[in-house]
Structure 1
């Protein structure tokens, strides 16, 4: 037997669907509070010293946290090439805006303290705000569009096409449901950033973070519930009506898909997946209460639980669909027809099994070393050695 055949093709596809979710959730749990802190910076910190305190809560860790984003993109490219091609083409301007905003973050960290000018530093503070708020919003908008279906088609040789005028396609992404999903994402990460600041700061900065985070948590709860009701009442779901060939070729056109009913019918077919939205609501609610009560470690953990539940609920609700098509349902990409080859998935899994524990161990060690609060005294004493 060939080595890679020890694990069946259909199981490898399922494993990599799960690993993709792990990478995306890992990015949201770690770099999510970095983005939240950046978006909160102009509002929780008054004066240069307080803003330096806020920046230095994430300054030592943001680069490592962003690795999850790179890993997620790399995993999509290697494990799900049709998904990479179709999604990055359809969301080109959105991805460009995300990357432009993320580029502002390292530049802001490095250049902010190079000059003492208040105007100079204020400008970079707002750049850090953009670097946090814009990606947090756009990621949610993208998820909202995926749930509605993306307007792409596939030719016979599987080339993706996006019919229609370019400006119309871009403006079409900014539809009401997608914007609501963007608000869910932004408010959730603002809450997450506030939970991090509650843990890492003290005094006035901590108090402001708690107040803003409590409001953000309430907004996240309300909009997540509204998005769920909207999804069930007004947005058609996707269903495979032809026999599923889980170990077949990666050709979406061989699968017959219809767009009818509701996404929420998945909860009738697989009732156990209701645990995901339940964890989402529970985590956000407990994090919001923790912010209001002034708790620190538990608040951050509950915030992570809420984010985990929200993202997992999207993936489990859509399964086995990864990227449905609104204009050509038969072109929709699923777990069973959009992956790389059997051998590629197996080799990638071996590499992941070796290196993922090393990454997690190193990340845990870094956070242990950097444990503790960032104080005004520390920032003032170390001067130019900190951001």
Structure 2
């Protein structure tokens, strides 16, 4: 179908698409969850917030599950190393995600303020913890992960959970949470009305400039305080996927090298800085649909910035750069990638089609009239 080198590059792009789909869609429902006890001032308002994401959150989760599954199938060595090295963080994320479906389903079963407030905070945890963990993970990827490979390519993680909580990673975690809350607040601008919509609008106008500041601060930190990785020699890009067949080294400013080599890639960080400002403008002038669009493009620009900065590295090793996993040497076999490509060509359009149908079907705002009509059947 495709040659091996093309397949390697294709699956780097496809996994990027899956992750972008996740941060845009799951980003807004986690952002809404994080805002429920913050801007929802009454029980009806909090139920409206929950019901604004109720038709979509489980479908949105498909992007996360599919992304993780694609990493497992296309980059098995990356999956094994990252998911074992970040095991505690991953379990923390998983248990936080448990709170969301349970909270949505059980919150309104009992008309007791203490019961409902408890579930509101549980949903809050499910909306706050995953974005922070994802951001911390990306912050550690940019610094390198402490793992080694033996002669049989078995990875051994040499760090601990607390090592992940370094200052730069925490900054990226805060930035990630800000982006998710921004996405959620712009979604609420589109889906709600009255005082609740105005409070969501205010949150957007706070988070948008904060996102610009944190993104710029992270960029300055990378440029001046974090060394990047470069490949010094590599064999045939269509050859066997063996990370020990290449050599790499750490160099100051290496994460910026692709922008010098390919100036067009500067579009990604430019988008990450410009579109939050456009989100602020759109929110200020009550253009809720455009605000959500600009926030979604912001997510895309930020994720592309990280991917383009690190390319072709996927999981760099801070212990020995030669052990690092790249697009060219961390992949499955050519046959596996071909089968995955056929499956993606068949099922990805189906997923996009029913997702689009769902959003169009549930289009419109939720307000007091909605709660009055569906008080006993809505979440």
TM-score interval (norm. to shorter)? over 0.9
Task: Give the deviation of 1:380 after TM superposition.
Answer: 2.1
The answer to whether structure 1 residue 381 and structure 2 residue 373 are counterparts is: yes
**Aligned mates of 1:87, 1:380 — CA distance in 2:** 48
| Structure 1 stretches of 4+ moved >3 Å | none
Deviates more, 1:284-293 or 1:181-190: 284-293
Q: Secondary structure at the match of 1:325?
A: coil
Q: 1:302 aligns with which of 291, 294, 302?
A: 294
Do the aligned partners of 2:20 and 2:303 also contact (CA within 8 Å) in 1?
Answer: yes
What corresponds to 1:3 in structure 2?
none
Instruction: Name the residue aligned to 1:139.
Output: 134
Superposed CA offset, 1:346-380 (max 9, x none): 01001100111111011110001000001122112
User: 1:345 offset after TM fit, Å?
Assistant: 0.3
Structure 2 partner of 1:190? 181
The Cα of 1:181 is off from its aligned counterpart by 0.5
Identify the residue that residue 358 of structure 2 maps to in structure 1. 366
Encode CA deviations 1:303-346: one digit per residue, 9 max, x unaligned. Answer: 11111000011001110000001011111000000000001000
- How far apart are the structure 2 equivalents of 1:253 and 1:236? 21
Q: Where in structure 1 are there 5+ consecutive unaligned residues?
A: 1-5
Q: Residues 49 and 380 of structure 1 are in contact (CA less than 8 Å); yes or no, is this contact kept in structure 2? A: no
Structure 2 residues not aligned, in runs of 5+: none
Residues 187, 216 of structure 1: 8 Å contact kept: yes
| Equivalent in the alignment of 1:261 | 252
Could you tell me which residue of structure 1 aligns to residue 305 of structure 2? 313
State whether structure 2 residue 203 is matched by structure 1 residue 237: no
- Distance (whole Å) between structure 2 residues aligned to residue 91 and residue 289 of structure 1: 38
Q: Deviations over 1:188-225 (max 9, x none)?
A: 11111000000000011111111112111111110000
Q: Which of 235, 256, 272 is the matching residue for 2:264?
A: 272
Q: Aligned residue for 2:48? A: 53
Equivalent position of 2:196 in the other structure:
205
- Distance in 2, Cα, partners of 1:194 & 1:91: 30
Cα distance, 1:381 vs. partner?
A: 1.7
Quick one: which of 266, 284, 303 aligns to 1:292? 284
Is the 1:236–1:260 Cα contact (8 Å) retained in structure 2?
yes
- Confirm whether residue 160 of structure 1 aligns to residue 152 of structure 2: no
Q: Give the Cα–Cα distance (whole angstroms) in 2 for the partners of residues 380 and 123 of structure 1.
A: 23
Deviation (angstroms), 1:261: 2.2
Residue 293 of structure 1: how far off its partner (Å): 2.1
The answer to whether the 8 A contact 1:220-1:284 is kept is yes
Q: How does 1:64-79 map to 2 (within 5 A)?
A: 64-79=59-74
Q: Deviations over 1:73-128 (max 9, x none)?
A: 10001111001000001111111111111111000001101111100000000001
Mapped pair 1:247 → 2:238 = yes
The structural deviation recorded for 1:49 is 0.6
- Asked if structure 2 preserves the Cα contact closer than 8 Å seen for 1:187 and 1:220, the reply is yes
Name the SS for the 1:221 alignment partner: helix
The residue that corresponds to 1:346 in the other structure is 338
Q: Distance in 1 between matches of 2:81 and 2:119?
A: 34
Q: Describe the SS at the equivalent of 2:343.
A: helix
Contact 1:12–1:346 under 8 Å retained in 2: yes
Q: Distance in 1 between matches of 2:151 and 2:353?
A: 46
**Residue 292 of structure 1: CA displacement?**
2.2
